[in-house]
Chain A
Amino acid sequence: MSWPVKTIAERTGDLLPGSPWTASVYVLLTILAVTAFMTVTGLVLIYAERKIAAHFQCRLGPMRVGWHGVLQTIADALKLLLKEDIVPRDADALLHILAPVLSFAGMLLVMIALPMSPSLQVADMNIGVLYVTAVSGLGVLGILLGGWSSNNKWSLLGAMRAGAQIISYEVSATLALLVVVLFSGTLQLSGIVQSQEAGWWIWRAHGCGIVAFAIFLIAGTAEINRTPFDLAEGESELTAGFHTEYSGLRFSFFFLSEFLNMFVLAAMTSTLFLGGWMPLHIGHFAVFNGVMDIIPPGLWFTLKTTAMIFLIMWFRWTFPRLRVDQLMRLEWKILLPIGFVNLFVSAACVVTGCYFFAR
């Protein structure tokens, strides 16, 4: 079966010639919806991280603000808003302000391209995958500028580490992503989801899919600076890394983008490798596929993303941090060659048509 795909952008486009006011209201509503979604996701993720971390560690986590601490992150957010915003004397004030904007914009712009369900996607670009990789590169500029403009040695060290780390791992992430592009033959994210109707790429593409999935997950975790790759802000080494001099709301923008980037990574992983909102379909077993279709696609997407987020959190609360040279070795000497070989093996698979349920 095929899903009725119509993104919000297209709907706005339909409205546009007729009545500019309807269209404007539609755009505004979209902005509101994305803001609400982002805020709620951010707050929920931070709360979930704290609770899950606590239970990994035999403790309870936030308990006293609201029922089982559910209002904890709201209190934190409000406090951060009411906290003083310090710009160090020797800092480059303009870039100091610009850095969180870039970091935040990089995250937000990726978010509008994510297909969360057949009709829940703000903009479905025909270069979707390329767009996501390109725009997420803004984040690294935010971190670099933030570290530089703070005029602090620890910040600068953290920024340099982060810069080198993120750009390095972007190479591997791109190679892993290309595997999926190869198999699905399109850059459009909705098209990639659509192409997984007969099975998810993670297992449909023989070993290539699972290797690409692993590489993408590792590289993605490194790109969003989470343990075991949290060298940019490794507390025990660089005090707070690139955001050492950031306080109040500006710090919270970094903080929020960090968590939402985790969501973006999980959503991208599930879109590319786990079929996005596509239910679990196995080939042409109509009965099984029919049963799976009962669960709405939005829920499928949420489930997969949640699972990925949980996995990333699990990594964080289990593993120690790598050393910076090991991190680089892992990327350039292990992941990159494997990724390259994997890409060409996949290309061979595509050319020979040798994968499960080939169309």
Chain B
Amino acid sequence: MLASAIPTLVFYLLAAISLTLAWSVVTGRRILRAAVSLMGVLAASAGLYLLLDSPFLAGVQVLVYVGGIVVLLVFAVMLTRTTELLEDHPTRGRQIIGGAVATGFFLLSYNMMTADAFVGRTLSPLPKNDVAAIGRALLDTGENGYALPFEVVSLLLLAAMIGGIVIARKPAAAAKPEAFHG
């Protein structure tokens, strides 16, 4: 009884948290507070993964999103802050356009969500060890495996790393100070 009620409770809790914080991410005027709210949304999403019985994904979500991307965002906010952007007011026109597009998208997708294909579905069974299952899927070179994407991701990361370094260093290299430590 309680055991089945708790996940439901947690779902609504997480939904409320993530929607509230998501709203403050897009409307918060202090950009660092928005970043902290984003961290909350992402952590709540990790909770959602747990509700979907994917603890490994939840772990990766926290590891990469909360521990990595948000930290990088905070770094970047610290690096790119200007006093004028401390308070980030969107113009009325943008608000209207944005609101219209977002609402339109939501209504459209809501229309699709209530389609028959999505109603009445139940959770399917899961493998016992999702980490191992994901590992097998990643390493499998067969037709259902993801060995190639796995390798492509490494290329993607390499490209991102090199690209990031090249782009971010460009202005710094222009005004490169003389080397002091050999």
Question: What is the interface of chain A, defined by CB distance below 8 A to chain B?
Answer: 13, 16-17, 20, 23, 92, 94-95, 98, 125-127, 130-131, 133-135, 137-138, 140-141, 144-145, 148, 156, 160, 163, 167, 170, 187, 325
Q: A126-B131, A144-B71 are in contact. Are A137 and B33 (CB under 8 A)?
A: no
Binds A, one of B15-23, B59-67, B94-102, B149-157: B59-67
* Contact among B36, B39, B56, B66 for A130, CB-based, below 8 A: B56
Contacting residue for A95 out of B36, B55, B78, B130, CB 8 A: B36
Contacts of A95 in B (CB 8 A): 32-33, 36
**Are B39 and A141 in contact (CB-based, < 8 A)?**
yes
A-B contact pairs, 13 of them (CB 8 A): A16-B3, A94-B33, A130-B131, A134-B62, A134-B66, A137-B63, A141-B67, A144-B78, A145-B74, A148-B74, A160-B78, A170-B67, A187-B131
Q: How far, in whole Å, are A13 and B67 apart by their CA atoms in the complex?
A: 29
A126 touches B129 (CB 8 A): yes
Chain B residues near A127 (CB, 8 Å)? 55-56, 58-59, 131
* Residues of B with C-beta under 8 A to A92: 30, 32-33
Which A residues lie within 8 Å of B60 (CB)?
Answer: 130, 134
Q: Chain B residues near A140 (CB, 8 Å)?
A: 67, 71
Once A141-B39, A144-B71, A148-B74 are accepted as A-B contacts, the answer to whether A130 and B32 lie under 8 Å apart by CB is: no
- CB proximity of A134 to chain B, nearest CB, Å: 4
Given the known inter-chain contacts A92-B30, A92-B33, A137-B67, please indicate yes or no for A130 contacting B59, CB distance below 8 A.
Answer: yes
- Contacts of A20 on B, CB cut-off 8 Å? 1-2
- Are B1 and A17 in contact, with the CB atoms below 8 A? yes
Interface size class of B (residues with CB under 8 A): 20 to 34
Q: Nearest Cβ in chain A — how far from B44, in angstroms? A: 14
A160 to B78, CA, bound (A): 9
User: Per DSSP, are chain B's interface residues mostly helix, strand or loop, or mixed?
Assistant: helix
Q: Kindly supply a per-residue 1/0 record for chain B positions 103-146, scoring 1 wherever the CB is within 8 Å of any chain A CB and 0 otherwise.
A: 00000000000000000000000000111000000000000000
Asked if B75 contacts A163 (CB within 8 A), the reply is yes
> Which residues of B lie under 8 Å from residue A134 when comparing CB positions?
59-60, 62-63, 66-67
Inside 8 A of B30's CB, which chain A residues have their CB? Answer: 92
Bound form: Cα–Cα A90–B49 in Å: 39
Since A23-B2, A98-B36 are in contact, a sample of 19 more A-B pairs with Cβ atoms closer than 8 Å, ordered by chain A residue number, is: A17-B1, A92-B32, A92-B33, A94-B33, A95-B36, A126-B55, A127-B56, A130-B56, A130-B60, A130-B131, A134-B59, A134-B60, A137-B63, A144-B75, A145-B74, A160-B78, A163-B74, A167-B71, A170-B67
Is A17 a contact of B70 with CB atoms below 8 Å? no
Q: Which residues of B contact A (CB under 8 A)?
A: 1-3, 30, 32-33, 36, 39, 55-56, 58-60, 62-63, 66-68, 70-71, 74-75, 78, 129-131, 181
How distant is A247 from chain B, measured CB to nearest CB, in Å? 22
Given contacts A145-B74, A163-B75, contact A133 B55 (CB under 8 A): no
Residues of A within 8 A of B2 (CB): 16-17, 20, 23
Residues on B with C-beta less than 8 A from A138 are 66-67
Contacts of A131 in B (CB 8 A): 55, 59, 62
A163 to B70, CA, bound (A): 12
A92, B70: Cα distance in complex, Å:
18
Q: Give every chain B residue within 8 A of A13 (Cβ-Cβ).
A: 3
Give the one of A16, A95, A130, A156 with max B CB within 10 A: A130
Residue of B nearest to A129 (CB): B59
Q: Which residues of B contact A145 (CB under 8 A)?
A: 32, 36, 74
A348 to B62, CA, bound (A): 30
